[in-house]
Structure 1
């Protein structure tokens, strides 16, 4: 067994690059960033670090490109031979490399998106305008316009702990991204190019020197501020640009009232989700709402000033309307000194001076100056409409419906609250508190805190408007009483003299049994007096949330997906009968085991009437920054999702899903029953829970300072009941097994047996196709060689064999059904991304394994070795960066 010669090493690297067919510009970015990192490692790392990184890198690439060779064993030996200190440095180097590759891939995506701009015909279902054209051809232009007007996309950002990298690292990467942009626009060979490369080198050196993992868990306030960065950097300006792009496509003149009405609503659980998180208190919720309001009002203030300064239209060419003059008089009488100064600077520019004075009212709203502040965003919109109407009446239609319209869209989308804060709490907590209140004894700290939450909701609604807070989600809803309890608690909280907050109480059905019981529970609760009154007040609108995570951990990914489809179909049919406008709220995670995967294909696979132009889902962890951190990518993501929402409600799409569900009902039943039995064979085996904790870094993941919420509801690892879905998925992902995303499917496909029918189902049944494609992605990121190494940490050969046999069976079945001879053959871009990363992830996995072995081999009563523990946590962060959708 010999180390590869330089020629063999170069051949392995060359084969890897050649097989992936990397676009030339992306290849150049990766090589430049990689070479700069190599220089930093030589300059700033310890002696010989660069050479050791290269040895492990080449070994894992060689093992990946030539799996039948002895190269994998050689890579294991290299990783095991490092000192702990050197292994720590190598892990940091590979993690930094992943951040750079992710950046390069993001830039490539942006290049492709910019090339496609203005070419919706290349992907008619991939844009709102293209979807609208298809829908209009099917149901008529007027009906399609009505669907467009009622369109709603509602992402809800959560603080669920799946973003493994520090915010400082994210900030450094964002600065580096700007430099890569600048380099692309800089002439080659001159001093300007050298300057940018020098700045890039400085930034990569900073990235290398920055500790990659947090020393302490972030507080809920830290999490709020992290999410605010996404609003400030992209969403505040990107969303109105999306509206504009669609409107320009549908009516290119630019001098007419817009067709598009704001269809994005943003929600947030950050600072509101207290299910299992004792650190989210009523005080935190108040603070979260205040921080969000501060951010949006600052944004609106700046936008209004910018638009106002640009309205230098003379009264002679653009005479003001009577309504505008009346508005100016009202504003002037309330703010005389400022009005005089503005009028002096803009004596014959009535629209400019009015809008500049309006911006002062926005400032007063933010600083809580009661004499000038707006009472609510509707009053600001009304004033902006007066300015817009005056411009249009004077013939300045382009100014009326240009940047001013975008400001109006921003107010309509974000109000004065930015994100609609949602509260979530466990049904068992409500029941415990009510039992104590009904008993009439002394109130515990928990009871006082639960009641204070309702007072906080009232406060937030009064200060920032009713949209600022008001959705209350009951996790583990198992009866109508669980929902009615929320209204009882609200009355207890305010007593006889207070104002009961306006609440939309949302059931969250999570487990397999709860999903099946959902229609019955809903039928009962709508007759409850307060529920019925709220339905009447909202035009019979109702939200129902479905949990993907716990249902998957409960019965396995295949049975959970099918159960979720059946629950949606039943709930949608019930809502149709009851004349209820239903919005299904999808509690999806980033990982495939938690309902992750491409959102647009999932939307198109939903049951009839379960979308109806409205789609709401959770966005969390690394997914938030991957989808919304870059303006171009955020625009494309929202465009794609909104297009899918429109298309999903088309009669042809609904009929296709209905017919496929009926035709393949027998297959669905066989898949559900067999996969669930296979899943239970594993997770209900005696000793499974402690074995799982041994063969994965599940316990250690809980030590990583990912988020403020604890990883478990309880303390025991003897049962999976109290283990949250995120560490369940995260741990299997880190072990390169990804079991939560696929286990049971192979056995289920084999039980169906009829391969021709399964291939036909893949072509005709959207739900099945989405499931198979997501499993293919999950398996592509797994690695059976490394999986075996993790499974060998336990002493249960029977369970290890069960996992590996099912992995092989599932991989074989998925490849045969999807075609192409290997996983993701029908998705070349995704396949390229996975294959490009895999050898480098392998290197980090080998470093993680050596640390995990050392920790597992230590005496039970001995304290954990801090150096090995640190190495393990570093590798966890690196693998998360390499695989991307970890939780």
Structure 2
């Protein structure tokens, strides 16, 4: 314990010296840089920040704080001039966030040195004298994998140009290159932070591909290299551990802007970018290999890589095996005739080709089950399919529907007109085969069914494949159900039991190695049932689904749809995986990397390697344990069942409050999020219709609460649930559960992280609002209750006491963006008044611009 405290103290000291002090130094330099038309912005900003802090402490309204500041410190009175200066403040603060990111990233290795630990190597050392342990490790490695899937969810605000500046700025800060830092800060000041129009799905893919090309390409290969070396030292055969996935261009759920041609374009783009990476590495290899005996294979490889990287007219095919063969030939010549000189460079490139093939990252296709049902209904009207189904098919029971399905391959003749969604689905099904032929099967082999509610949702989709160019014996696709709501999670086990027992699906799974991926959504389950119920529902679903899979001898992999914030499955995610017992399938860790989590956790090679290693360590550690998960013991399970129910009731009661949605619409920028030009995806389903909570995307829902600095989805109901257990005399049992269950402890720790990014003092003036005052007090009371109960449970005096560095980082970031929060609320206040169209547009733009910096600073707020 003393050692841990000492390490925490050392890390906190390093953070203060390396991050806070350096940020203050470079920030003082930054504030002297002039912006267009505003000479005194850098001088006024520190005064404005202090004025904001004092005003919030006094619970003053944003309008009072800002208006008083302008009267006291400026000669500016006209609305246009006030708005203009506020925009300049926003520009500065946005870039201060970037500067802080860069300073923190530059110190990453120093801050995390004590956390790095190769779990695999540790177990190998222990097993050196134990044959049984070594065999267990071999079996674990044979089965284990980690898949990271980049998604195009609209909370990634940094464009590629800014990401490049952050990368260069981080490098300069590492060596305290003041001259370069000064130049980069000037470049940063002149570089736009946002697009003038919303990106297309292909634009989004290109933006995210920056991370594949500049970070993951190197980081994943470096980690794989360490694994290969560790296993080789103990004479254990290595295998590919890391896989990459990709959603932009393939995820069309609720996004009418994604079309079949988008999917094809993105698959081609990923392939070309990958071959450019290979070509770049090969040029370095060729520069070193100047010996005789390898001229022919060198020339062949160079020609192949160059054409695939730069010739847009080349006939695309999966050439990865041929490439590996030629590179292996070069490596063998180096070993046999040149003392192995530079063979390591050849090994490195071979490893990368083995990891990324011709596809770089697997492109997942995702669509909502309701759309897929419509497509199936459309196809049933066409020859020869029409004769196979009764007219009342849609009215049949689930059992009767499944009995009607015939799974016959057929060439369907479509005669009726079809809408864009139906057309896109049918085109995509046909074109996936083309992608597999050009980039390899792994390039696109999963179809994810959102809102999956019954077994027929999957079986009907399989029929669609058989009717549109695919054959039963060659259906090289994996069909992945996505269970999201609390209700669907509860039914998931029964649905999979039906599928595993179905003759056709059983046969298909056998052809796919008896492997089944199941996606579980944290975001919608939180929006549906609150933080604790979402986590507990997913835990129970995983237990039930694992039991069902084991019964049918299926190798199950859970694909977790995790967002950035704890309310959407984020936070200390690796701790969830490390805490799994043997009752939950955990040999294949799969999770989405979304929004600003991509830049904050995987924005540099150092941070990406660290976080990939943490997830692998979690999987290896959990796989080596035989410990039973205590949450399945009757006492502990009953406690969590009751707590989840109480938390659920509290959250649902809040959701049903008549002021719930109008409060969000009035006081947060929710209604303006659709005008933010960062995503091709609409803020809500059924866009154009009146806002309904069920149509609102979980990301927008969580983002709105985070902008209010209330983070309701990340804690609401926790205080009520804990207090009820305390009042019932079960407190000692709850404390024991917290101390003994890593899973429950992680739920609590992540909840405290959410609350650390909340600040009800910013909105304390709402308490005086005639219409919404009592509603705000209800939210605040639950926050204070949750805070008190969580601290009591953990035995702490402050939130995130266990994570002093993260806590300090959050505090600095929140201080930086406090003015943005107040400017946003000020703009929203003004929008409640009678305004001209020009004034309304100006205040809307002002509110919208603040969202960028607040989310970027939070790193996992949306």
Structure 2-normalised TM-score?
0.87
1: distance between equivalents of 2:186 and 2:448? 45
Cα distance in structure 1, aligned partners of 2:522 and 2:551: 26
Distance 1:758 1:878, change over 3 A: same
The match for 1:834 is 810
How far does residue 130 in structure 1 lie from its aligned partner after superposition? 3.3
Q: Would you say 1:868 and 2:861 are equivalent positions?
A: no
- The structure 1 residue matched to 2:679, chosen from 707, 728, 731, is 707
**Alpha-carbon displacement from aligned partner over 1:290-335 (angstroms, at most 9, x marks no partner):** 000001112223323433443455xxxxxxxxxxxxxxxxxxxxxx
Q: Is the 8 A contact 1:427 1:476 kept in 2?
A: yes
Q: Deviations over 1:683-710 (max 9, x none)?
A: 0123432332222211112211121100
- CA–CA distance in structure 2, aligned partners of residues 527 and 71 of structure 1: 62
Residue matched to 1:638: 612
Matched ranges for 1:131-280 at <5 A: 132-133=124-125, 140-181=133-174, 183-184=175-176, 196-249=177-230, 259-280=237-258
Shift, 1:206, TM fit: 2.8
Give 5+ residue unaligned stretches, structure 1. Answer: 1-17, 117-121, 185-195, 314-348
Stretch deviating more after TM superposition (758-767 or 407-416): 758-767
* Contact 2:328–2:346 (CA under 8 A) maintained in structure 1: no
Match in the other structure for 1:511: 485
Residue in 2 that maps onto 1:737? 710
Task: Please say if 1:32 is aligned against 2:25.
Answer: yes
Q: Output the CA distance in 2 between the equivalents of 1:44 and 1:202.
A: 17
Cα 1:735–1:372 change in 2 (3 A) is: closer
Give the distance between the partners of 1:369 and 1:850, measured in 2 at CA.
51
Structure 2 CA distance for aligned equivalents of residues 679 and 822 of structure 1? 25
For the residue of structure 2 that corresponds to 1:494, the secondary structure is coil
The alignment partner of 2:737 has SS state of: helix
Q: Does 1:427 align with 2:369?
A: yes
Q: Tell me how far apart the structure 2 counterparts of residues 504 and 495 of structure 1 sit (CA, whole Å).
A: 13
For residues 808-847 of structure 1, what are the alpha-carbon distances to aligned partners after superposition, in whole Å with 9 as ceiling and x for unaligned? Answer: 1111111111222111111111111112222222221111
> 1:785 corresponds to which residue?
761
CA distance in 2 between partners of 1:29 and 1:258 (Å): 45
CA distance in 2, matches of 1:536, 1:61: 63
2:300 aligned with 1:360: no
Q: 1:791 to 1:363 in 2, by over 3 A?
A: farther
Q: Aligned partners of 1:884 and 1:79: how far apart in 2?
A: 29
Alignment partners' CA distance in 1, 2:845 and 2:768 = 22
Counterpart in 1 of 2:664? 692
The CA distance in 2 between the partners of 1:415 and 1:806, in whole Å, is 51
Alpha-carbon shift at residue 180 of structure 1 (Å): 2.0
Matched length: 805
Match of 1:556 among 524, 530, 536: 530
Are the aligned partners of 2:362 and 2:442 in contact in 1 as well (CA < 8 Å)? yes
Query: Which has the higher mean CA deviation after the structures are superposed, 659-668 or 284-293?
Result: 659-668
Q: Which string of whole-angstrom CA distances, capped at 9 and with x for unpartnered residues, describes residues 655-680 of structure 1? A: 2x246654411210121110011011
CA distance in 1, matches of 2:633, 2:195: 47
Shift of 1:437: 2.1
Q: Name the CA shift for 1:351/1:672 in 2 (closer, same or farther; >3 Å).
A: same
> Aligned residue for 1:56?
48
Q: 1:368 Cα deviation (Å)?
A: 7.1
Structural mapping, 1:655-674, within 5 Å: 655=628, 657-658=629-630, 662-674=634-646
Q: How does 1:596-635 map to 2 (within 5 A)?
A: 596-635=570-609
The 5 Å alignment of 1:88-487 reads 88-113=87-112, 116=113, 122-123=114-115, 127-130=119-122, 132-133=124-125, 140-181=133-174, 183-184=175-176, 196-249=177-230, 259-312=237-290, 349-351=292-294, 353-366=296-309, 375-389=318-332, 396=339, 400=343, 402-440=344-382, 442-446=416-420, 447-487=422-462
**Residues 647, 398 of structure 1: CA spacing in aligned structure 2 closer, same or farther, 3 A cutoff?**
farther
Out of 708, 719, 732, which is 1:746 matched to? 719
* Alignment check: 8 A CA contact 2:196 2:677 kept: yes
Partner of 2:546: 572
Residues 460 and 469 of structure 1 are in contact (CA less than 8 Å); yes or no, is this contact kept in structure 2?
yes
Moved more, 525-534 or 721-730: 525-534
* Deviation, structure 1 residue 552: 0.6
Task: Point out the more displaced range, 755-764 or 353-362.
Answer: 353-362
CA contact (8 A) 1:310 1:352 kept: no
- What CA distance in whole angstroms lies between the structure 2 residues aligned with 1:34 and 1:310? 43
| SS of equivalent residue, structure 2 residue 683 | coil
Residue in 2 that maps onto 1:727? 700
- Structure-to-structure mapping, 1:875-886, within 5 angstroms: 875-886=850-861
Aligned-pair CA distance for 1:214: 2.5
**For residues 791 and 40 of structure 1, do their structure 2 counterparts lie closer, same or farther at Cα, with a shift above 3 Å needed?**
farther
Is this contact kept in 1: 2:221–2:352, CA < 8 A? yes
CA deviation map 1:143-191 (0-9, x unaligned): 213322432110011101011333333333233223323x43xxxxxxx
> 1: distance between equivalents of 2:127 and 2:572?
22
Q: Which residue of 2 aligns with 1:843?
A: 819
Deviation at 1:563, TM superposition (A): 0.3
Question: Which deviates the most, 534-543 or 609-618?
Answer: 609-618
Task: Tell me the residue number matched to 1:326.
Answer: none
Name the SS for the 2:693 alignment partner. coil
Distance 1:417 1:522 in 2: 30
Q: In 2, Cα distance between the equivalents of 1:704 and 1:424? A: 24
Cα pair distance change 1:377/1:804, threshold 3 Å? same
- Aligned residue runs from structure 1 range 494-509, under 5 A: 494=469, 502-509=476-483
For 2:654 and 2:813, locate their aligned partners in 1 and report how far apart those are by CA, in whole Å.
30
Q: CA deviation at 1:382?
A: 3.4
Q: 3-state DSSP class of the match of 2:582?
A: coil
- Deviation for aligned residue 1:719: 2.2
TM-score normalised by L of structure 1: 0.85
Q: Please state how far the C-alpha of 1:217 moved relative to its aligned partner.
A: 0.9
Which stretch of structure 1 is more off in the superposition, 257-266 or 573-582?
257-266
Partner of 1:7: none
CA change 1:454–1:510 in 2 (3 A) is same
In the alignment, the residues of structure 2 paired with residue 840 and residue 399 of structure 1 have an alpha-carbon distance, to the nearest angstrom, of 48
Q: 1:748, 1:80 → 2: CA distance? A: 46
CA deviation map 1:570-614 (0-9, x unaligned): 111111111111110000001221111122112123342534421
In structure 2, do the counterparts of structure 1 residues 390 and 735 end up closer, same or farther at CA, with 3 Å as the change threshold? same
Q: Where do 5+ consecutive residues of structure 2 fail to align? A: 1-10, 77-81, 383-414
Corresponding residue SS for 1:857: coil
CA contact (8 A) 1:470 1:501 kept: no
Please state whether the residue corresponding to 2:771 is helix, strand or coil.
coil
**Residue number in structure 1 paired with 2:38:** 46
The aligned counterpart of 2:739 is: 763
Q: C-alpha displacement at 1:464, in angstroms? A: 1.1
For residues 79 and 288 of structure 1, do their structure 2 counterparts lie closer, same or farther at Cα, with a shift above 3 Å needed? farther
In the TM superposition, residue 416 of structure 1 has moved relative to its aligned partner by 0.4
- Report the 3-state secondary structure (helix = DSSP H, G, I; strand = E; otherwise coil) of the residue aligned with 2:445: strand
Root mean square deviation, CA, Å: 3.0
Structure 2: distance between partners of 1:136 and 1:472:
42
